[in-house]
Amino acid sequence: MKLIKSIQLFTAFILIVQPFHLISAQTNYCLDAIDSIDLEKRMLTPCKYVKEAKRSISKREDNKNMFEISDFRCTSKVSDECEKVKNTFETAGQIISDAFYFNTPVLVNVSFFSFCDELKDCPNTTVHLGAASPKRSILMGDDDDLNRFYPQALVKQFNLESHPEFLPSDITANFNTDVKWYFGGKDPIKKNELELLSIVLHELIHGLGFRSNWGPWVGAEGVIPYPIFTDGSNKTLIFNGFIEYCFDKYLIHLKSDCNHKSIPLVTKEFNKFAGGPGSKFNTTTEFILELKNSTQYNYYGKKMLDITTTAKDLGFQTNAEDIVILETSYKLFSQGVSVVHVDQSTYQNSSDFLMKPSFSFGDTLEKIINDFGDSNYGPIGPKLRKVMETLGYESKNNPNPYRPSEPKSLGFPLTTVSDVS
Ligand SMILES: [Zn+2]
């Protein structure tokens, strides 16, 4: 998710009219990051089931770092800098592995390069620090009758006998060499430096599933869940529903005085659009026009835009009944910033600072933890731990995490029989 330095408030708002990618029916869905640079560019991809060789889960070895760099690209010319980046990932992986129990390693594809040289994204009023996202997200069926996308890193921990194929890496992460990074060490941080470790930790948490499928997908007037399609006959499109991310299952409207306190109930309303999943359209333009004329868009889409752009109006309810207030203070919905961070004003001076949307120069995790945190938790505060446990990560306090099951039929048969030995 996009991270911006503290002095810039907004990233450019882009009206996104996504080309919805088509796949043929009779298969399960995976949502893949398809651009190694723009990590928010995703494509719905058919993914066939494979059988997992039965493996015994070895007892968790304490202190083992379960994060591995599966691919490393570093263009820095500064002596030792690439090595320092690797070491920072090592430290971050260790911190997360100490907070949660992983039975299967999490593989991270890391790139450290100049955003200015390669992306023409040069520092002016905003400097992008980096981003990370799940390489593949897999459709699963939840216990509230909705299907949702789960990050591959989490699905791997389920140890399913048969599952949609995994990609070679779980998380893809890019970091910008144009930023003056602080790598720790003897010298104190300078006022114009940013500590890489805090940003790497923040981004890895996004890659583990701290993300949302709500967005202004068809225009700035409404915030909607992500719609998916399959090919129909005679070049028609079959609309297969609005699909949330696993994080979205726990979203609640904090100032609600209506019946839709739980945001998934709004998604259920959206899924009544055009008679529900299975309805056919000739083109995506026709779908968008019809959606924009619908009650779902004009009532719920606008209501969700209102909720996601009003400070402290949206929360994440954990399985321990804790509420985490999410970032909704931006007056324009900012994709990758709104919803997918904790509220800056509530948590910046607390143990749960890690998922705030912006970080200040000259700050270190050590200093923030000393000033506001709790050394028992370190950088991963108690509420953030509960969020990740709620998503399904195992920990000392969460030894039997929630598990989704196979996705429910979307109006056509899904291939759940493995055809690969
Ligand atoms: Zn972020």
pLDDT of residue 227: 92
The Cα–Cα gap between 133 and 171 comes to 6
Distance 370 CA to ligand 1 centre (A): 22
Three-class SS state of 203? helix
Contact 216, 202 (CB under 8 A): no
Distance 199 CA to ligand 1 centre (A): 8
* Angle at alpha carbon of residue 164, lines to 159 and 168, rounded to 5°: 85
pLDDT of residue 6: 35
Q: DSSP state, 112? A: E
What element of type H or E holds 352? none
pLDDT of residue 340: 97
Distance 206 CA to ligand 1 centre (A): 7
Distance 203 CA to ligand 1 centre (A): 6
Instruction: Kindly tell me if the per-residue pLDDT of 7 is higher than 80.
Output: no
pLDDT (tens digit per residue) in 362-409: 999 999 999 998 889 999 999 999 999 999 999 999 999 999 998 887
Distance 156 CA to ligand 1 centre (A): 23
Contact 281, 236 (CB under 8 A): yes
Task: Output the pTM of the full model.
Answer: 0.90
Question: Which amino acid is located at 101 in the chain?
Answer: Y
Distance 409 CA to ligand 1 centre (A): 33
Q: At what angle do helices 81-99 and 196-207 cross, to 10 degrees?
A: 50
Distance 348 CA to ligand 1 centre (A): 13
The Cα–Cα gap between 81 and 327 comes to 33
Distance 205 CA to ligand 1 centre (A): 8
Instruction: Kindly tell me if the per-residue pLDDT of 46 is higher than 70.
Output: yes
Instruction: Kindly tell me if the per-residue pLDDT of 233 is higher than 80.
Output: no
Distance 292 CA to ligand 1 centre (A): 30
pLDDT of residue 259: 62
Intra-chain end-to-end CA distance of the chain, in Å: 36
Task: Single out the residue of 397, 399, 395, 383 nearest to residue 66, CA to CA.
Answer: 395
Task: Report the percent of the chain where pLDDT is more than 70.
Answer: 87
From residue 283, alpha-carbon distances to 18, 222, 236, 243 in Å are 13, 20, 7, 19
Distance 195 CA to ligand 1 centre (A): 15
Contact 139, 28 (CB under 8 A): yes
Residue ranges per structural domain of the chain: 29-211, 215-308
What element of type H or E holds 280? strand 280-281
pLDDT of residue 21: 40
The Cα–Cα gap between 247 and 210 comes to 6
What mean pLDDT comes out for the span 345-350?
96
Structure tokens at 32: 């893949």
Task: Single out the residue of 39, 1, 46, 38 nearest to residue 21, CA to CA.
Answer: 46
What mean pLDDT comes out for the span 104-129?
89
Distance 39 CA to ligand 1 centre (A): 12
Between 26 and 310, whose confidence is greater?
310
For the beta carbon of residue 77, count every other beta carbon within 10 angstroms: 9
